A and B are shown apart, each in its own frame.
Chain A
Amino acid sequence: MILLWGPVDDRPFAAVRQALHDRGAEVAVVDQRRVVATRVELRQGEETTGVVEVAGTVVDLDDVRAVYWRSRDLREDVLAAAGLDGGAIGRAWAVEDALLGWLDVTGASVVNRPAAMASNASKPYQLALLRDLGFDVPRTLVTTDPVAARAFWTEHGAVVYKSVSGIRSVVSQLGPAHDDRLEAVAWCPTQFQQLVPGQDHRVHVVGNEVFATAVISDADDYRYAGVDGDPAELRAVRLPDEVASRCVEATRALGLVISGVDLRRAPDGRWFCFEVNPSPGFTYYETNTGQPIAAAIASLLVDADLSPSFRPVRRPARTPAQ
């Protein structure tokens, strides 16, 4: 059985669900928006076994051989469930925490394991890993010193700034209007990067498959290009084999099964890597290019579900139950 856990109205989630339906796969869906109706029962020992129940529908986690999951901030949904007491959010997190713990230890194939997704929480941390994996990465300064920020700007001429954490931020280029505002970096470590000219590429890795999209846009952050002017144009392209292989290797090295790799091809031919997204919102690219990304993810899940090498959960034989 394949377990899908996430908000059912999330586009990538819905796309994978539809692709699995098209394949006739046996699927159990746990809607994250119904967290207030969800109960998780686990026995955590040498192995972790148990069930998850949503409004009367019970899924035996021992029967699950593949998982695709997406996550969103629960607070809005929990608070919307009128009448819940003040501790509800904490207990909703505990439901999620229990499932996340199971995802990290289950013998099922998980797209992607929570522990492997964490590197994205610190961009400079992940960037160091990507540099070690052979990618070119932009020169970076993280600072609370306005003088150092100005010196970095002067040294590189064109500089962008972005969040250090996984919190989504609009990548913006420093300009004259920022001169006075640079003093504010004194109160929060701020990440500055050399502006690498060139063409953006989003690369979706699904197992061994690579779906590359060239992004044609003049915006500093093409994701928001439509807000200020012309939306980005997306085109399916083929990467040089060496670059495609590096994307697959990096995905694997980070412990991921699928990823969204942000690359830029510089005028001198070098490929810079900025980030690897462990839970890519691929539907924007799929819709614009026709690349069958959801179908590829569905194939991964179906193959895992049917794999004869699946390691069933071994029930603990001798442990004192607490």
Chain B
Amino acid sequence: MILVLASSWDTSASALVSGWGARGARLITPVDLARPGWRWDPAAPLAGDLAVGSDVLPVRSVAAVVSFLSVIQPSELQHIAPDDREYVAAEVSAFLVGWLTSLGERVLNPPTPLCLNGPHLRDAQWRREAALAGLPVATLRRTESCRVGDASGDAPGAACATTAAVPPPGTVVEVAVVGGSCVAADAVPPVVRRGLEDLAARTGAGLLSARLLPGVDSDLWWFDGARAGVDPTADGVSASLERSLGVAS
């Protein structure tokens, strides 16, 4: 069985599972994590059970897992009392981090303690890691402020301001890396593709989306940020996921 972990509202993930349904894929959403049937002994993770839909299944039946979910939103847990949703969401997230990690290589994109679908890196970290992977890195000027006005002290009523310079629209290329390989990136210079694959490896990102600024007249492409996860509807991603997860054709 292939498990696809995604938000209940993620229509592209559910479409993916529908397409793979006959080949043993099941969609698992936050609601499934807060329903009866889960049983996990961290010392013997494969001996446990999981709840998906109305079924309780042995963990041993899981061949592969992919997560399109970075966090559990309390608002997804509509069957939980409103006052308890924030707590339950935090508990479910913490449980999933441990559970997914215990499944080892079955998980295409292993979680980290603060992110259910890969590394939880801030922009500054992505840029540093990209530089270490040999990619030329664009510089982001970032100003964050909760006070605008004179500098004499806290100013009640002052507006908060966030400014982050954003590249002009149309100049950014997004490249997906699935299971260590760039997807549908023929237009990207090989040296940049290798850099992105190195970035995915060094950050432990099984699924990675990187933003690039193409050079105007050269092979010098600039790295301009990344995130864990991919858009399953992007060119070639679905087929690449099938290969990485071993979805039988």
Contact = CB atoms under 8 A, between A and B. Distances in A.
Interface of A: 34-48, 50, 53, 55-56, 78, 81-85, 87-88, 91-92, 94-95, 97-98, 100-102, 104-105, 115, 118-128, 131, 139-146, 148, 163-167, 186-190, 316, 319-322
Contacts of B193: none
A145 B147 contact: no
Interface string B86-130: 011011111101110110000000001110000011111101100
B49 interface: yes
- In the A-B complex, the 4 residue pairs with the smallest Cβ-Cβ separation, listed nearest first, are A83-B157, A101-B122, A45-B139, A165-B94
B211 to A, nearest CB: 11
Nearest to A87: B160
A97 to B, nearest CB: 6
Contacts of A321: 139, 141, 165
18 contacts: A37-B146, A40-B142, A41-B142, A42-B142, A44-B127, A45-B137, A46-B127, A48-B127, A88-B160, A101-B123, A115-B125, A118-B112, A125-B98, A127-B42, A167-B87, A187-B34, A188-B92, A321-B141
A157 B183 CA distance: 54
B36 A46 contact: no
Contacts of B166: 322
B164 to A, nearest CB: 8
A143 B154 CA distance: 47
B154 A34 contact: yes
A131 B228 CA distance: 28
Contacts of A94: 144, 162
Contacts of A36: 146-147, 154-155, 158, 160
B144 A322 contact: no
B169 interface: no
A124 B98 contact: yes
Given A37-B154, A43-B139, A125-B97, A142 B123 contact: no
B43 A319 contact: no
Of A45, A47, A95, most buried by chain B (CB within 10 Å of CB) is A45
B-side interface size class: 35 or more
Contacts of A45: 127, 131, 137-140
A37 B160 contact: no
A85 B80 CA distance: 30
A275 to B, nearest CB: 13
B124 A48 contact: yes
B91 A165 contact: yes
B45 to A, nearest CB: 9
Given A45-B127, A140-B42, A145-B39, A81 B154 contact: yes
B143 A40 contact: yes
B97 A121 contact: yes
Nearest to B92: A189
B147 A39 contact: yes
Given A45-B127, A78-B146, A188 B34 contact: yes
